[in-house]
Chains A and B, each alone.
Chain A
């Protein structure tokens, strides 16, 4: 006799589970993290408190958490469009960089434009470049069935290296002592911020987009097509939907929103093009989108939580908690939430198997 473990898909996960399981998962993660902290000789309460304080407990921390959340929100929103159609756009990172690159072109080439021209121009350029960067894998996928996971992933490296090339080469600031930085943007190219904080209008863009996406996803004809194609391509074909056209449109939009994230980051935060603009926003956003079940409002919240987790992670370092431990805490939260998510979708069945 052998015991086999099977995962059975639940037909209809209950609404209560959808809420309680993620909450319990976070608590479980914190519990495991606490154990770990105790083992390494630290007071978990103190650490958690500091984490919370650093990320959410002060207006500055809160603002910084939002700053960190904005690119995550935008990238996750972009990703969610594609994921809804089961197009696995892993290329948010590259689309982010391409958006940042194209948006940077305007202030570097025409530094004297007024803000009223500069900012909309940068926005359009950023969206266009990100969109095109998403469109190429879409073409490959629709025309020749090239797997978009591979192409979008590869395109990330191309985009990052392209930006590296620019800042090490032609776009290098002539006054920058040969350091890999573009010239600083003029003031007209900086997104307005709220008060003295670094929170820029990218936040408003993200919230507006989330609202628009919610309407598109749940109410619109196009959203319906995306849903059907994502659920069953065969049925969509049967219903006479234009699948290729939708692959183009969806990837264009997905990339454009990720490109917008890149634009808001160079314009609102960094103020110049430089390597290492994104510490992996495009990848973290995949997790954000997925944990939010692709729901636009949930994406806003989860992005903020992820921002908080990272801001708090750095903050607790000042208490002598090494970066690796705070990374471990973040990992534990992720692991439990994803695991809990799995348990809401599936249940474990222990089955006895006859030994062969």
Chain B
């Protein structure tokens, strides 16, 4: 890249790796939430400053976090869990964490650093290659998804239309996705569509989901309503543990607020929640603990009171405080 630049070529380089920026860039622009939050010459810049630009200075000010101490029994414990990513390379690297009932554990990190693998390991969709997963005091490592669903693990995936919901199916059929075998909705062979319809109508009312009709394919619904429907279904199963990935991505302010309140309510009812998000505001607002993922590692794990946003930001970039000095020292 430097050669290209030296040859008179203008290079735009997009990355979230701080050391790469430091190494190759002359000028750096930080984008946050679709806006330029700052542009500066690289030699003038401190890594800290960049991090502030990235995470936003006023993060925790708008919603002061109320200490939440309704934590109960340990629901989930991961010990040195390792798994491969889609291309067969290590995706999760010896991750350990513990999650209690009534607790929201936030996972911060730039997308693609192992969050998806973590969520899929917990829901049985990805084989664990090392370590152990304990749920409600029992070893559940590599149990099939159906079994984990039966035991009360819910999952709101990142891909809400396509994985969480099936675009071609109507709301009722989507509601049935995980409960079509429950005696409530089906006999030995046949599904009781009426019961399912009644239940869906109830959920739709309760969660205020707007849709064209229960019998319309859900693909035409808006993102916020899809997410509400999806959450409604996952909550309706009365889970002990719910894994929620990027719940507010692509939603407007009102819808986001609604989703957040749902999660808090769920927490208050004693559900353990693992919340994966890229949005630090969201994490700060909802979480009781925050972990940071980088390169498949759990790079940090803080109680919410101890969170130092700057540190979280640096960890997200793959920088540890100790190394920061070296990088600054390294600068030419």
Interface positions of A (Cβ within 8 A of B): 11-12, 215, 219-222, 224-225, 227-228, 231-232, 234-235, 237-242
Q: Which of B97-111 contact A (CB under 8 A)?
A: none
User: Closest approach, in angstroms, between the C-beta of A92 and any C-beta of chain B?
Assistant: 25
The reply to whether A234 and B163 contact each other, CB–CB distance below 8 Å, is yes
Given contacts A221-B189, A224-B191, A240-B145, contact A235 B220 (CB under 8 A): no
Kindly identify which residue among B124, B159, B191 contacts A221, using a CB–CB cutoff of 8 Å.
B191
29 A–B contact pairs at CB < 8 A?
Answer: A219-B190, A219-B193, A220-B191, A221-B181, A221-B186, A221-B190, A221-B191, A222-B189, A224-B176, A224-B180, A224-B191, A228-B173, A231-B169, A232-B166, A232-B168, A234-B159, A234-B162, A235-B162, A235-B164, A235-B165, A235-B166, A235-B177, A237-B145, A238-B145, A239-B146, A239-B177, A240-B149, A240-B178, A241-B146
Q: Which of B131-180 contact A (CB under 8 A)?
A: 144-149, 155, 157, 159, 162-169, 173, 176-178, 180
CA distance in complex: A231, B159 (Å): 15
Chain B residues with CB below 8 A from A220, complex form: 189-191
Chain B residues with CB below 8 A from A237, complex form: 125, 145
Residues of B in contact with A, size category = 35 or more
Q: Chain A interface secondary structure, helix, strand, loop or mixed?
A: helix
Given contacts A224-B176, A238-B163, contact A231 B168 (CB under 8 A): yes
The reply to whether B166 and A228 contact each other, CB–CB distance below 8 Å, is yes
The reply to whether B164 and A238 contact each other, CB–CB distance below 8 Å, is yes
Chain B residues with CB below 8 A from A228, complex form: 166, 169, 173, 177
Q: How many pairs of A and B residues are in contact by the CB < 8 Å rule?
A: 73
Chain A residues with CB below 8 A from B123, complex form: 238
Chain A residues with CB below 8 A from B144, complex form: 240
Chain B residues with CB below 8 A from A231, complex form: 166-169
User: Closest approach, in angstroms, between the C-beta of A338 and any C-beta of chain B?
Assistant: 21
User: Closest approach, in angstroms, between the C-beta of A221 and any C-beta of chain B?
Assistant: 5
User: Closest approach, in angstroms, between the C-beta of A232 and any C-beta of chain B?
Assistant: 5
Given contacts A224-B191, A232-B163, contact A239 B178 (CB under 8 A): yes
Chain B residues with CB below 8 A from A215, complex form: 190
User: Closest approach, in angstroms, between the C-beta of A90 and any C-beta of chain B?
Assistant: 23
CA distance in complex: A54, B220 (Å): 48
Chain A residues with CB below 8 A from B167, complex form: 231-232
Chain A residues with CB below 8 A from B165, complex form: 235
Per CB-CB distance, the 6 closest pairs between chain A and chain B, nearest first, are A240-B146, A240-B145, A231-B168, A239-B177, A234-B163, A231-B166
CA distance in complex: A227, B148 (Å): 22
CA distance in complex: A224, B170 (Å): 12
B189, closest chain A residue (CB):
A220
Kindly identify which residue among B157, B173, B191 contacts A219, using a CB–CB cutoff of 8 Å.
B191
Chain A residues with CB below 8 A from B124, complex form: 240
Of A11, A12, A227, A239, the most chain B CB neighbours within 10 A belong to A239
B147, closest chain A residue (CB):
A240
A222, closest chain B residue (CB):
B189
Chain A residues with CB below 8 A from B190, complex form: 215, 219-221
User: Closest approach, in angstroms, between the C-beta of B191 and any C-beta of chain A?
Assistant: 6
Chain B residues with CB below 8 A from A239, complex form: 145-146, 149, 177-178
CA distance in complex: A227, B220 (Å): 19
User: Closest approach, in angstroms, between the C-beta of A21 and any C-beta of chain B?
Assistant: 20
Chain B residues with CB below 8 A from A11, complex form: 219-220
Given contacts A234-B159, A237-B145, A240-B145, contact A227 B169 (CB under 8 A): yes
B155, closest chain A residue (CB):
A238
